[in-house]
Amino acid sequence: MIKQVENPVLEIHDLTVSYDKKPVLWDIDLSVPKGKVIGIIGPNGAGKSTLIKAIMGLIPISSGYIKLFDEKLDAVRDHISYVPQRESVDWDFPTSVREVVLMGRYGKLGLFRRPRKADIEVAMDSLRKVGMEAHAERQISQLSGGQQQRIFLARALAQQADLYLMDEPFAGVDAATEKAIIRLLREMAIQNKTVVAVHHDLQTASKYFDWIILLNLRLVASGPTEDVFTPDLLQETYGGKLTLLSEITTLMAKEQFPHREAK
């Protein structure tokens, strides 16, 4: 089931990405709507992070094309924010929380321009939204994993983008941080922002996302969560790797997906 969208925020046609001549993504063709929280779901090695990186132009593509807001990436880069995996960053680099969040403003400053008072206010407001305002002057090396993830999100918010691409924003965070992040993502969608996030927890996927992309090297399905997050399509996506499929099917039937609660 692959639902096509009129006036999509993101449009991908015939996308293939290869490493050492071995396809990692094969013939991906999808479009996604505006103002939704969208999850990319699939087993380890399915190409989820690769898809995000290809959209951002961080890795070369073998064939196909990607459009964002009906334009190529370079024409709309200021409207897009990318949140990489937390492990990809050197958290020992000597800089403060506020300076990291201010980096989200650099695209709007231009070359050699210093942050203005208005930029600092945007950065601090972004920190407030993720509950980290009190940590503004701390060194990033002093933060916990959950706090680091909140800082990443604050930097993305400071960009004031229209499309947010996030690579596992919930990885390694505590339950309270996870609830705070999904609450914020939903608020962003209400403001007509679009969030596309790589996610690995099937137990929360149906509650977190309006739209789901099921991926395993090829595109299995893309569409509204109620149409795509089904036992048959999950089986097709995960195959023998989905050891919890029977349990998940039972939970779906009962509509009793368990939720992590803040302690």
C-alpha span between 41 and 214 (Å, rounded): 5
Closest CA to 10 of 75, 64, 67: 67
Q: Among all chains, which residue has been given the structure tokens 């998940």?
A: 248
What confidence score (pLDDT) does residue 164 get?
Answer: 95
Instruction: Please state which of the ranges 22-26, 175-179, 243-247 shows the lowest mean pLDDT.
Output: 243-247
Going by C-beta distance under 8 Å and a sequence separation of 6 or more, which residues neighbour residue 66?
Answer: 10, 11, 12, 13, 15, 54, 55, 72, 73
Mean pLDDT of 230-250: 70
More confident residue, 94 or 251: 94
Give the pLDDT confidence of 116-152 residue by residue, as tens digits: 888 889 999 999 988 888 988 888 888 888 888 888 8
What confidence score (pLDDT) does residue 51 get?
Answer: 96
**Whole-model pTM?**
0.84
Mean pLDDT of 41-46: 91
* Average pLDDT across the chain, whole number: 85
Q: Judge: domain 10-87+161-251, CATH 3.20.20.70.
A: no
More confident residue, 55 or 245: 55
Query: Running DSSP on this structure, what letter comes out for residue 230?
Result: -
What confidence score (pLDDT) does residue 258 get?
Answer: 44
Sheet strands side by side (includes 37-41): 80-83, 163-167, 194-198, 37-41, 211-216, 218-224
C-alpha span between 76 and 67 (Å, rounded): 10
What does the domain layout of the chain look like in residue ranges?
10-87+161-251
C-alpha span between 110 and 234 (Å, rounded): 45
Mean pLDDT of 6-30: 90
What confidence score (pLDDT) does residue 241 get?
Answer: 56
**Model confidence at 246: pLDDT above 70:** no
C-alpha span between 25 and 217 (Å, rounded): 5
C-alpha span between 220 and 238 (Å, rounded): 10
